[in-house]
Structure 1
């Protein structure tokens, strides 16, 4: 098999295409989660905690001199990123928890037994006809599924 044929077989395999679709959907979902946290969760949370924003916290290691910018250890941005991560992780946890609860309730729902197959129905009819011909009452044995 030539290198081009091998690459073609690899590139169009279902797994590679599925992975690409998953990455694209994941990126779009990341935007949804970011908007949910930034636009829905953070404003009320900001009101509750008094609008605390850690991004301005920093230590200047060397002040700016002329055109050289200052060297700053921006630990506040790191703290804010951790805080944002915890909020995103908690929001996703709550979403997954709700989905799992729905799945458990769905699994608990009573399911109907499967309908008998054509063969089972035919065998039941044959049994009933044989009972009529013999004129006696044979014990009723339910058809087995197998």
Structure 2
């Protein structure tokens, strides 16, 4: 079997197509959640923190260096932990919404039918009940 035909067989599998659709939808969903976080959640957090944007939180290792004219000679070196905090909030919200979606999906699924009791078990129960009644 040639590589091209193997590749066609690989792509034609349903699971690969399902995975591709999931990745595309997940990417779009991530953008929606990021917009919600940037537009609604982070402004509320900024109000709580005194108007400072979470994305601007940083630890300055070395401040920027300016010359006599006020022109920047060396850029500041900073650890921007606010961006990590914002990404963590994005992740938690995406995970929570996926959890809620799966919970609703599982609730909508029809429960599986209970397996029928085997005939020999029913007969044994009848014998047991008959022996108890004597």
| TM-score using structure 1 length | 0.53
Q: Secondary structure at the match of 1:59?
A: strand
- Where do 5+ consecutive residues of structure 1 fail to align? 114-146
- Please list, as runs of the form range in 1=range in 2, the aligned pairs for 1:98-113 lying within 5 A after superposition: 98-99=100-101, 102=104, 106=107
1:16 paired residue number:
16
Residues 55-95 of structure 1 show CA distances to partners (whole Å, capped at 9, x for unaligned) of: 36433388589xxx7354321x2x11222133224434543
Higher Cα radius of gyration: 1
Please list every run of at least 4 consecutive aligned residues from structure 1 whose deviation after the TM superposition is greater than 2 angstroms: 52-65, 69-74, 85-104
Q: Secondary structure at the match of 1:74?
A: strand
The count of residues paired between Structure 1 and Structure 2 equals 105
Pairwise CA RMSD: 3.5
- Where do 5+ consecutive residues of structure 2 fail to align? 68-72, 114-134
Of Structure 1 and Structure 2, the greater strand share is in: 2
| TM-score using structure 2 length | 0.57
Q: Whose relative contact order is higher, 1 or 2, with alpha carbons under 8 Å and at least 6 apart?
A: 2
